[in-house]
Structures are given as structure tokens and as C-alpha cells.
Amino acid sequence: MADVFVVGSINQDFVLSVERRPVPGETVTDARLATHNGGKGANQAAAAALLGASVAFLGRVGDDGFGGPLVRALSDKGVDTTLVQEVPGSSTGAAFITVTPDGENAITVAPGANRRLTAEDVDDASGFIGEARVLVAQMEVPLEVVLRAVEVAAGNGTRALVNLAPPFEVPRALLEKLDPLVINEHEAAFLLGESVEGVDGALDAAPRLLSLGPRSVVVTLGEDGAVFSDGESAQHLTAPKVKVVDTTGAGDAFIGALAAKLATDAPLEDAVAYAVRAGAAAVTEAGAQGALPTPETVEAL
């Protein structure tokens, strides 16, 4: 039985460190290339496992040579990968990431085998989902997979945490089952159809986001921490100040830490406070999974 069950993506990340991003039609040279294990689902699963949760993962990789090492790396971090399978004739998901000297990143994803995960695969794993305390899902797998996973969780009393990234139009019936919905400012703006900027914008948006159906909501704000609300007044939790190297894995570290804490029945405020510190710790190293923090690193902040 896993504390946290993750349904999500597994990617091979190709990271280009550049002095600046090219404008259309321009070639920029002298970039530095590094490869990392990635995918929002895999990153979040690894983050939760490294922070002490027992984690099981449902996902798909291709048979192109990239998938096997990615799955083994997850297993090495303590994630149960029994339900991860290779899809014949498909490529493993890949992300192409440019990182500028200020640590900010821009990402393009080729989903590959991640799009081959099906609602039937979720049904086959329903027993595992029903035994977990927290379900975690994101939007790098087909929408129908996320919908079915949340339905299964709701039917079994498993808490459903969905990170609506990248943002998609989702039915209210899905949002009503979430506790919490986790989004950043851009995703909040997508849901509300209006700009959401900074701490004040997130505090103002929280009650409107709750009116869409979720039982609780968390808006991540990068270096400004996070805003959360579970129906009472919205609260802002600040992030510790750290030296930023690469922001690629920060959001996934946040999600993994949040899920790990919620699986212990911690109050939402305590879980968000822990997740904010985990996200801050993750930006101090390069890469996604390689930068995920340990409990000692989080507690030190």
C-alpha cells in the first residue's frame, strides 16, 4: 500500500543553458547541453519518495532506449514502478528546456508515450489508487486519464490533488473532487479568464477559484511562496530566500512535498509551508529530479 499514488508523465529532459534565448530566425551558439530525468509526474513522485512517503507510479515510456533508465532511476529513489510499462513503437516523452543565467526556464514538451496512457489503465490500477491516502495527477497525460483517476480516488476515499499544469479546460465535476487544486499564477488566470499577478492577485483570486468547485486551492508564486485557502480566508506563506540556479523542478518539488505531508494527515497550512521550503530548496541545484531535496535540506531552510 502506497501513501501517495501518482498518475503522470515520464520524460527525458534536454537542458540547454544559454546566455539568452534566440529571437525568431536567429541562431544562438555556445549553449551547454545537459540531460536529466524528468516529466512532471515522475518528478513529483520522486520528490514525495525522497521526502519519506511510500509512492507508487502509473505511467508509460517508449521502447526507444530512454525509457528503461528513467524507470530504473525512479525505482532507485524508492518509487514503486510496477505499473510503468513500455509502449512498443512509441518514443519516450521528451522535454526541451532552455535556462538563462537568472535561472528562469522555457520548456517545450514532446509527450510521446505519455499520451498512450488510457482510462482503462487507470481502471486496472484502481485497487492501488483506492488503498493510497493521496492521489497526485497533472496534465501531461490525457485528460480522460486524469478524470478517471480522480473518479476512482473519490469513490474510494482517497484525497485527490491535481496540478493543473499545463492548463486545460476541465469539467466542474472534476474540480469538485479536488482537495487541493494546485496551480500557479498563469494557470489561475487561465481558469478565471483574467490576470492573476503576485501575492495580492492570488489572495484576491482564491475565493473565486474555490467557487469553481475545489474543496481547497493552492496558488504557487515562485520566490514569493504560495497562497492557499480551504474555504476560510486565504493565507500567504512566504518562501525562504535562496540563490537561484535553475527553477525547472521547483513546482514539482512543491507538489511532491505537499502530497507527502498531506498523506500524514497534516493540516493544509502545515503541508503548504513544508512544500514552499521544498520548492525553494529545489532551485538551488540544476535539473529537475537531480535537484529534489531531502528532508534534511528542507528542514534546514
Catalytic residues: 252
Q: What gap in Å lies between CA 115 and CA 178, rounded to an integer?
A: 23
In the chain the first and final C-alpha atoms are separated, in Å, by 31
Task: Give one DSSP letter per residue of 192-217, joined into a string.
Answer: HTS---HHHHHHHHHHHHHTTS-S-E
Q: Is residue 193 classed exposed, middle or buried when 0-12, 13-18 and 19+ CB atoms within 10 A define those classes? A: exposed
139 secondary structure, DSSP code: S
For residues 135, 136, 139 and 143, what is the CA-based torsion angle, rounded to 10 degrees?
0
Which of 117, 119, 98 shows the shortest CA–CA distance to 109?
Answer: 98
- CA angle 147–202–194, rounded 5-degree value: 75
Helix (H, G, I), strand (E, B) or coil at 284: coil
Q: What gap in Å lies between CA 184 and CA 192, rounded to an integer?
A: 12
Helix (H, G, I), strand (E, B) or coil at 233: coil
Q: Which residue has the cell 544559454?
A: 18
Q: Which residue has the cell 501513501?
A: 3
Instruction: Provide the grid cell at 240.
Output: 525562504
Spatial contact of 198 and 217, defined as CB atoms under 8 Å apart = no
Buried b (16+ CB within 10 A) or exposed e, 2-23: bbbbbbbbbbbbbbbbbeeeee
